Structure 1
Amino acid sequence: MSMKQYALAGLFTLMAAPAMAAECSVVVESTDQMQFNTKEIVVSKACSAVEVELKHVGQIPKAAMGHNIVIAKAEDAAGVIADSMAVGVDKDYVKADDARILAHSALIGGGESTKFSIDPAKLEKDGAYEFFCTFPGHAAMMKGVVKVTD
């Protein structure tokens, strides 16, 4: 193989590698306007865990404009949201030991970030899952779907 062929083979490998590798981390941004920057989180079954980083790119403190991410089955979302809002800011608006919650972040305010992991083994490939913010009133605008892939 000539040097040119080696170089081309190496370039092809570098270009193809990202497409073949499972994405095992994702960054979701939240704002003071009650928005996530995405409506979809992809969880690959090829990952042992998917790390989600939530960044609050706004400036308002968490007591007034806090955000979190909670993941649950779509059919459980409304109940999780209602029960979580009742527990308060000190508990991150996440009801402790709620079996319907598959994963969640801490509640953060402007300029803060937090990370949490999703165990893909807990999710069925054909299941319907959602993510949302449980700060009171936010879930109406701050929500999306969790897509499970191979």
Structure 2
Amino acid sequence: MNYSKMKSVLALLTISGALLISCNKTEQTEAVTDAPVETVATDGAADAAAKQDTINITLNGNDKMQYDLSEIDVYEGQTVVLTLNHTGTMPVASMGHNFVLLKNGTDLEKFEAEAAKAQKEGYIPADTSEIIAHTKLLGGGESDTITFQAPAKGTYDYMCSFPGHYSMMKGKFNVK
């Protein structure tokens, strides 16, 4: 008998044996599958399970005036622990970065113009009524961690308030 026929016969014997065994079996067994199982929550349990009391976020800014995240997702009321890392090497005076989370409806250009006047305050304007949270201004290799409560559901803007940076260093803070 050639190898190809022998493979076919072995395959048939294996299938036949499996059928005989399964036909003679009287006990019930649980089916095991690699297929994903979809669960449907009817009372918001999936959201509650996904929501944690605290979320840790790491945001990196570099010497090319870029954040590594363009969107951040959190849940309303969550405690947000945000760490901003300046991954570049340039000093704060020439390439300082911060994270500023703004209230809805804030005019970014107007805010940036006011922030540019506040060099001594790390480019955070004296009137902070439009700010939800912010880090200090960082130079290359520095980090700052802040903790704050996520605001009400909605989409908020965040930006770097160092003069001229907000056009590239900005993103959306999505609160679910």
Whole-angstrom CA distance in 1 between matches of 2:82 and 2:94: 23
| CA gap 1:69/1:61 in 2 versus in 1, 3 angstroms | same
**Alpha-carbon deviation of 1:20?**
3.0
**CA offsets per residue over residues 26-82 of structure 1, 9 Å max, x none?**
0000000000001012222252x2011000000001001000010113421423222
Relative CO higher for 1 or 2, CA cutoff 8 Å, sep ≥ 6? 1
Q: Aligned to 1:59, what secondary structure does the other structure show?
A: coil
Q: Quote the residue 1:140 is aligned against.
A: 167
Letter of the structure 1 residue corresponding to residue 161 of structure 2: T
| CA gap 1:25/1:77 in 2 versus in 1, 3 angstroms | farther
Structure 1 runs not aligned, ≥5 long: 1-18
The structure with the largest alpha-carbon Rg is 2
Aligned residue runs from structure 1 range 1-150, under 5 A: 20-22=50-52, 24-45=55-76, 47=78, 49-78=79-108, 79-88=110-119, 90-120=120-150, 123-125=151-153, 127-149=154-176
| CA gap 1:128/1:38 in 2 versus in 1, 3 angstroms | same
| CA gap 1:129/1:21 in 2 versus in 1, 3 angstroms | closer
**Alpha-carbon deviation of 1:97?**
4.1
Letter of the structure 2 residue corresponding to residue 133 of structure 1: C
Letter of the structure 2 residue corresponding to residue 20 of structure 1: A
Moved over 2 A (4+): 19-23
Whole-angstrom CA distance in 2 between matches of 1:100 and 1:46: 19
Structure 2 runs not aligned, ≥5 long: 1-48
TM-score (norm 2): 0.66
Root mean square deviation, CA, Å: 1.6
Whole-angstrom CA distance in 2 between matches of 1:20 and 1:102: 24
Q: Aligned to 1:140, what secondary structure does the other structure show?
A: coil
Identity of aligned residues (%): 36
Whole-angstrom CA distance in 2 between matches of 1:66 and 1:105: 11
Whole-angstrom CA distance in 2 between matches of 1:43 and 1:133: 20
Whole-angstrom CA distance in 2 between matches of 1:27 and 1:112: 13
Q: Aligned to 2:106, what secondary structure does the other structure show?
A: helix
Whole-angstrom CA distance in 1 between matches of 2:121 and 2:133: 15
